[in-house]
Structure 1
Amino acid sequence: MKNRILKFSAALAVMLLVSCKNDAQNTGSESVKAEYVGKEIGSEYDAEIDKLVSQMTLEEKIGMLHGNSMFTSGGVKRLGIPELKMADGPLGVREEISRDNWAPAGLTNDFATYYPAGGGLAATWNTEMAYTFGNSVGQEMRARDKDMLLSPAINIVRTPLGGRTYEYMTEDPFLNKKIAVPLIVGLQDNDVMACVKHYAANNQETNRDFVDVQIDERTLREIYLPAFEAAVKEAKAYSIMGAYNKFRGEYLCENDYMLNKILRDEWGFKGVVVSDWAAVHSTVKSLQNGLDIEMGTPKPFNEFFLADKLIAAAKNKEISEAELDKHVKRILRVLFQVKAMGGKERVKGSIATEAHYQDAYKIAAESIVLLKNENNALPLKVDGIKSIAVIGNNATKKNALGGFGAGVKTKREVTPLEGLKNRLPASVKINYAEGYLERYDEKNKGNLGNITSNGPVTIDKLDPAALQAAIEAAKNSDVAIIFAGSNRDYETEASDRRDLKLPFGQEELIQKVLAVNPKTIVVMVAGAPFEIEDISKKTTALVWTWFNGSEGGNALADVLLGKVNPSGKLPWTMPKTLNDSPAHATNSFPGDKAVNYAEGILVGYRWFDTKNIAPLYPFGYGLSYTTFGLEKAKADKESYTTDETISVSVEVKNTGKTDGKEVVQLYASKSDSKVTRAAKELKGFKKVLVKSGGSENVTIKVPVKELAYYDAASKKWVVEPGKYTLKVGNSSRDIKQDIAITIK
């Protein structure tokens, strides 16, 4: 079954298509992907479900509505209803843990592939890579006999300090949904439920258990909900995870407006809503307001709000049995949907295979972003190099596990140093020095995992012996490569960072190495921005890579040595300083008991571009080893009605000497709008492979409805008539051509 799925993944995607009019994935001479659309939850088992529910006791029904172990909710064995088996999985399928605590189960058969983190996947700007990611993880889930992956996490990156920025994808709602949808479809193609999280407005770790988020309705609809809406309407996600925090005064796992009115009534969601772990605060209210399953830790499972307390409430007639039946039926429907029930043949899956490691490699190779490359310092020309200094703790640091969030137990994680050893010829000597030490102030290290805006406290003084070893290595080598940045102990769920300064004294190390060897390349390994303006100015080459999976080191070495031409683009804005970012410029992060999103719709590049604040590196930015021209951009017509689709064509020329991939980005702008608008908004993109000296025609289709703003007064999306400018470029700040159109 596994081979069949791998072999025909492209065909599967095409089978799923409803129409190929939107966003066909054009990769030049490679295959053209259709729109990814998920399978609707069916009703063919409803009669069987009704019969099962009629045979269940009150206690059996309620047993299905809460965790009966750390990662399962209850089944009914006598009726053939299995437990619903969940697994954490932003980076791949988490190892098995004990049934009643967080301790590892200690198995020898729960190794998995470590996949690139969400930021890396988004940096590919490639919907086909997103499908590959979901499809590959889905096969691993089934090999471990799981029903629900607690992923993807698609919250907007509102602040660069966010502890989960590495896991969340991007600051832009359009890019978010275009990566999330194929990932979910790919996952659910394997008889697995995606549990899309964290719904919604969960954009900080600080005070996440109780902070009350205040967002105006237009901002909510235009920025924070589109990816969730697409996950429901297009990808047909089978489950959604409610967030920890409050929204407009009400906890999100018992928020009638978000769970009932928007998610179910407006969007038609048919799946199950699962709580984040220990995010439930009431019994009757949480069920009536839209929650289906309560998960959590660490108290005994019968003490959950939807356990003994719910049995008592039902017996006291505080909640009707009909209400309980509604939630039980939803759970049964998704169990039938993924063939955990019903007797249909289910995908068997496979795990930690060479094919899956190659999936991780492909994603990693397309995610790496070339930020600076003066005098063609990269790719490294090994013919003239006898020795390379490899400097930095991040050259050997592993990130599959670490921090407070979910990781992966894997047999393969190729570090940057190992990648270089694998790829460099034997004639090149590697001089390794750790350079900086990853050290924490022990009396504060315990903060890791607490909800705090202060994050882990690092020791930023360099160790003199380690520094001297790095300087000697750099002096005695033809070229130096410093692997700097962050790691998953520093960037972690449950705490936001204190600031954007590089930890562990890395900035001083980099400056001192540059002073003794000007041929120094800096590679940042991180999931979120840092203030690196001085480093960027002084180094000749700057590369950004991510917590990039089992094959991350090999992919990185292939980029540094030119086997792979980098094509990643930043999925968020890199500010020069933290206070340039909107949540900080408006002094509205982190709040205390409440946080007001004072920047409104101007999140990320929308703020920088509208307020004319220069970022260090803009949204969508990324260089290549070749050069591209974007020419002859034109729309198929001059004017459109609101129910039409705009078709923009552009010729992409590779004017350099290397084959490469470029991401054509299409932004929309309306300067005379009667409402406040961002200077530009992403409305389409295509990644295209162009041979050296060749050209490819790219077509990007934009439904006119994508130009709408949300009118809070009428509670409707409104496409304003008049003139619009479509801007074609390769970052939000590098627009090559404008196209004027009119909407009638």
Structure 2
Amino acid sequence: MKIKIFASLTIVAFMLTFTKAHAQTQSSQALEAKISGIIKKLTLEEKISMLHANSIFGTAGVPRLGIPGLMTDDGPLGVREDLKEGWASANLTTDSATFFPNGSALAATWNPGLAYRYGHDMGEEARWRKKWIMLVPAFNIARTPLCGRTYEYYSEDPFLNSRLAVQAVNGIQGQGIAACVKHFAANNQEVERGRVSVELDERTLREIYLPAFKAAVTEANAWTIMSAYNKIRGVYCSENPYLLNTILKDEWKFKGIVISDWGGTHSTVNAANNGLDLEMGSGGNYSKYFFAQPLLDSVKAGKVSMAVIDEKIHRILWVMYHTVMATNPPAGKINTPEHSKTAYDIAAESIVLLKNEQHLLPLNTGNLKSVAIIGDNATEMFHLGGFGAGVKARYEVTALAGLQNRLGKAVAINYAQGYSGVYKPQRRDTSNKYNKPDTALIAQAVAAAKKSDMAIVFVGGNREWESEARDRKDLTLPFGEQQLVDAVTAVNANTIVVVVAGAPYDLGKIKKNNSTVVWSWYNGSENGNALADVLLGKVNPSGRLPFTFPNELKDSPAHALNAYPGTDLKVEYKEGILVGYRWFDTKKIEPMYCFGYGLSYTNYRYAALHTGKTSYTKAENITATIKVTNTGKYAGKETVQLYISKPNSAVERADKELKAFKKVNIPAGQTASVTLSIPVKDLAYFDNKTNKWVVEPGKYMLLAGASSRDIKGTASVVVK
């Protein structure tokens, strides 16, 4: 009887799967028929009108056939405010949105579930605002800590980026909004980004700079992708046939639209024939765009075929039927309590405790009568600023306001500005003239610190200092902040330093002289509340660094090899696959703070790591389990990181590579059994000679730990 029941259930499951697949096939066939029918009705002029911008963020539709235009919108901090024809605000009262934490903050959570919620909520807000393509997520690799867009991107690791990118795309597109993953590819510096040629070997491209894009396309089915400004091997990304046609459309089977970055198109015929589908720009005479009248003329001259044009229109209509022309779409929502909760949760899980030697944290409010809150970043709002995407937030809780909310009237707060964070440079100004201490403001801060039980000093960057279109000159803290920290620490031993930034800075002196250091970010609408809850112990800090902090800039690989920003408009990626922690660990260079680092208010004990089997075939998944016990008195979330190492490899490999991670909540005194899985195929390296992925047989080491430098357990397996 049991056998019969099992067989019946198996048949039912098979029939359900078959029925679903059949329905999807029918739906796909019906959509193809609709698209083909529309293409036959369009005139050449109407087709061309759909292939270029007709406003800063929009494209033209074809009213005659009921085809709407596509409205795009900037991320990644939230849905951008509406603009006039130009970059000035339209000054509407209906375009406020939720301010979500910046990209490296999201990466610091090491929590793909939060990446999904981030995408989901942003997708809801985009739909409410009728913005059908969100220009997000951006996840180029942090090759140099100086890159002006590090705050916007995710991390230095392709695997961490991939896991977050997939979930962000799933969240956005689940709301019937196209995610536009960017910038494809190797856009790792802002210096000469519009002209520089990135020179790198195929293995480096495939192992470091493409994996997150591949995952977003092949796993999350991203509907649009944005070509980068730079060149790769001498060819602009917006007209690079190897990048756009061979890899993206042929290998990865990308179905959607390749969109140029704004003003990032450089030709008509080459761009059209080599994979670009839609040209966007920042205004001007739209009829003169490369994909406007020049493209029409090129088709008539036989330089671009009608088949090429029809393929682009097919891709655009395919995206439209998933977004603006979708049937039964989800309802849009904006500024909901749920969205605020997502912003809060990301912020709370992103904050990294760097040092807590005197255990000043969590704050003991029972003994605290007064606290000095010092620093411009305590009152700075980060939803706007810099050259690039911002969001007109409905509200943003500053750090000062958050502490006032939580501390109430029981603790006297003495605020002092400490320094001015005003920075209004020319677009590409990277001078140090803004790094002078303000002696009068420092004196006021010292006075506030002297009369307070404790001082919390807020330093770091801001949205003007870290910005698209310019890289920082060095890692120095700006605005005379180091002098401020020194002066306050000298008069109050109970000084906590909170660094607010989106990219690494030189914290060497602070790390040496200050007992308590916290790293925060441009952390969204709920920034102040989340930070206050971490400082007070309501939330146990669980953020982990998404990139390596060097002791000196020259320790970072691109700088150690004099491979940044390049010469004669070429930058050679001499470090190859040894980016970030791969370089530091392989070359045995001590970082200031390593990749994956972060402290907690509690302690965790790791038990021995063991694997499901001792040997695996190339088609299997390696499973590894380790027990983690919370031995302290606070509940907390621990991120278990699993790295692999290949002893005696036939090719150069990094000392270790991240291949799995899991964030788990462990109550005080309890133990979690954490199981991680690595597909054996993910152990492959890319062979430049054969142009194929190769899983090298032999022994592999598995290293589980709390960071790339804090390995708690090891095990070995053999791949047959």
Check whether TM > 0.5. yes
Question: Residue 384 of structure 1 aligns to a residue in which SS?
Answer: coil
Q: What SS does structure 2 have at the residue aligned with 1:229?
A: helix
The residue that corresponds to 2:131 in the other structure is 146
Structure 1 residues 27-38: aligned runs within 5 Å: none
CA distance in 2 between partners of 1:425 and 1:322 (Å): 67
1:492-511 → structure 2 map (5 Å cutoff): 492-511=467-486
Indicate yes or no: 2:555 matched with 1:583: no
8 Å contact kept, 1:41–1:236: no
Corresponding residue to 2:325 among 322, 337, 341: 341
2:158 to 162, 169, 173: 173
User: Does the Cα contact within 8 Å between 1:39 and 1:236 map onto a contact in 2?
Assistant: no
Q: How does 1:448-463 map to 2 (within 5 A)?
A: 448=427, 450=428, 455=430, 457-463=432-438
SS of the equivalent of 2:448 reads helix
1:634 aligns with 2:618: no
- Secondary structure of 2:605's aligned partner: strand
SS at match of 1:134: helix
Distance in 1 of aligned mates of 2:209 and 2:435? 36
1:296 maps to 281
**For 2:674, what is the secondary structure of its paired residue?**
strand
- Say whether residues 1:107 and 2:79 are aligned partners: no
Correspondence for 2:20: none
Q: In structure 2, what residue type is equivalent to 1:148?
A: I
- Counterpart residue type for residue 404 of structure 1: F
Deviation at 1:699, TM superposition (A): 0.6
1:366 counterpart = 2:349: yes
Do the aligned residues in 2 keep the contact of 1:41 with 1:333 (CA within 8 Å)? no
- Confirm whether residue 258 of structure 1 aligns to residue 234 of structure 2: no
Secondary structure at the counterpart of residue 54 of structure 2: strand
Residue of structure 2 equivalent to 1:32:
none
Aligned CA-pair RMSD: 1.4
**Cα contact 2:58–2:72 (8 A) shared by 1:** yes
Alpha-carbon separation, structure 1, partners of 2:27 and 2:164: 22
Q: Which runs of 5+ in 1 are unaligned?
A: 1-17, 19-37
2:489 corresponding residue in structure 1: 514
Distance of 1:641 and 1:210 partners within structure 2: 46
Offset at 1:464? 2.0
The corresponding residue for 2:184 is 199
Match of 1:22 in 2: none
Aligned-pair distance for 1:459? Answer: 2.2
Q: Which residue of 1 aligns with 2:670?
A: 694
Match among 665, 670, 683 for residue 707 of structure 1: 683
Distance 1:41 1:724, change over 3 A: farther
TM-score by length of 1: 0.92
The CA deviation at 1:439 is: 4.2
Residue correspondence of structure 1 range 56-75 to structure 2 within 5 A: 56-75=42-61
**Contact conserved, 2:112 with 2:163, CA < 8 A, in 1?**
yes
Report what 1:552 is aligned to.
527
Partner of 2:449: 474
What TM-score, normalized to structure 2?
0.95
Match for residue 306 of structure 2 among 310, 318, 321 = 321
Counterpart of 1:64, as a letter, is: M
Q: Distance in 1 between matches of 2:627 and 2:342?
A: 30
2:325 aligned partner, one-letter code:
M
Distance change in 2, residues 1:41/1:630 (3 Å):
farther
Deviations for 1:462-507, whole angstroms, at most 9, x for unmatched residues? 2222111000001100000000000000000000000000001000
**Aligned: 1:398 with 2:398:** no
Give me the whole-angstrom Cα distance separating, in 1, the residues matched to 2:190 and 2:30. 41
2:440 and 2:172 mapped to 1: Cα distance?
A: 49
CA contact (8 A) 1:60 1:76 kept: yes
> Using a 3 Å threshold, how does the CA distance of structure 1 residues 40 and 583 change in structure 2: closer, same or farther?
farther
Q: How does 1:380-391 map to 2 (within 5 A)?
A: 380-391=363-374
CA distance in 2, matches of 1:470, 1:292: 55
Q: Is the 8 A contact 1:458 1:503 kept in 2?
A: no
Is residue 437 of structure 1 aligned with residue 420 of structure 2? yes
Tell me the alpha carbon deviations over residues 61-84 of structure 1, each in whole angstroms, 9 at most, x when there is no partner: 001100011111111011011101
Question: Do the aligned residues in 2 keep the contact of 1:391 with 1:432 (CA within 8 Å)?
Answer: yes
* Contact 2:272–2:304 (CA under 8 A) maintained in structure 1: no
Closer/same/farther in 2, CA of residues 611 and 42 from structure 1, 3 Å limit = farther
What is the DSSP-based 3-state SS (H/G/I as helix, E as strand, rest coil) of the residue aligned with 2:686?
strand
Structure 1 residue corresponding to 2:335, chosen from 337, 352, 363: 352
- Please give the alpha-carbon distance, in whole angstroms, between the structure 2 residues aligned to 1:214 and 1:58: 38
- Answer yes or no: is the 8 Å Cα contact 1:456–1:490 preserved in 2: no
Aligned equivalents of 1:317, 1:296: Cα separation in 2: 26
**Mapped partners of 1:55, 1:87: distance in 2:** 29
Answer whether contact 2:608 2:714 (CA < 8 A) is retained: no
Correspondence for 2:41: 55
1:455 deviation in Å? 2.5
Q: 1:731 to 1:311 in 2, by over 3 A?
A: same
Q: Deviations over 1:343-371 (max 9, x none)?
A: x1112211111211111001100000000
The sequence identity of aligned pairs, in percent, is 55
Aligned-partner Cα distance in 2 for 1:583–1:398:
32
Residue 524 of structure 1: aligned partner: 499
Contact 1:91/1:408 (<8 A) preserved = yes
State the alpha-carbon separation in 1 of the partners of residues 223 and 263 from structure 2: 21
Residue 222 of structure 2 is matched in structure 1 by 237
Residue 523 of structure 1: SS of its match in structure 2?
Answer: strand
Task: Give yes or no for contact 1:39–1:235 (8 Å, CA) kept in 2.
Answer: no
For residues 499 and 275 of structure 1, the distance between their equivalents in structure 2, rounded to whole angstroms, comes to 30
Q: Deviations over 1:296-341 (max 9, x none)?
A: 0232111100001111112222222222111001100111122x22
Letter in 2 for 1:527: G
The alpha-carbon deviation at position 630 of structure 1 amounts to 1.2
Aligned to 2:31: 45
Shift of the 319–127 alpha-carbon distance from structure 1 to 2, 3 Å rule, reads same
Paired amino acid for 2:394: K
Q: CA deviation at 1:425?
A: 3.2
After superposition, residues 586-601 of structure 1 pair within 5 angstroms as 586-592=561-567, 593-601=569-577
CA distance in 2, matches of 1:90, 1:78: 35
Give the superposition deviation at 1:43: 4.7
Residue 381 of structure 2 aligns to a residue whose secondary structure is: coil
Task: Assess if the C-alpha contact under 8 Å between 1:88 and 1:149 holds in 2.
Answer: yes
* Separation in 2, partners of 1:655, 1:40: 56
Match in the other structure for 1:312: 297
Query: 615, 619, 623: which is aligned to 2:591?
Result: 615
Deviations 1:691-733 (A, max 9, x none): 1000111110100111110011111111101111000100000
Is 1:487 the counterpart of 2:462 in the alignment?
yes
1:570 touches 1:618 (CA, 8 Å); kept in 2? yes
Give 3-state SS (helix, strand or coil) of 1:45's partner: helix
Q: Deviations over 1:427-483 (max 9, x none)?
A: 10000000111244x6xx22x2x4xxx536442222222111000001100000000
8 Å CA contact 1:42, 1:337 repeated in 2: no
1:638-670 residue CA offsets vs partner (Å, 9 max, x unmatched) = 000111000111111000000000000000001
Q: Letter of the aligned partner of 1:676 in structure 2? A: E
How many Å separate the matches in 1 of 2:46 and 2:483?
62
2:600 alignment partner, SS class: coil
- Alignment partner, residue 83 of structure 1: 69
After superposition, the Cα gap between the structure-2 partners of 1:244 and 1:104, relative to the gap in structure 1 and judged at 3 Å, is: same
Once residues 38 and 448 of structure 2 are traced to their aligned partners in structure 1, the CA distance between those partners, rounded to angstroms, is 70
User: Does the Cα contact within 8 Å between 2:548 and 2:581 map onto a contact in 1?
Assistant: yes
Task: Identify if the C-alpha distance between structure 1 residues 305 and 457 changes in structure 2 by more than 3 Å, giving closer, same or farther.
Answer: farther
SS of the residue aligned with 1:72? coil
> Are 2:421 and 2:462, in contact at CA under 8 Å, matched by a contact in 1?
no
The amino acid of 1:346's aligned partner reads P
Deviation at 1:40? Answer: 14
The residue aligned with 1:683 is 659
SS where residue 699 of structure 2 aligns? strand
8 Å contact kept, 1:184–1:235: yes
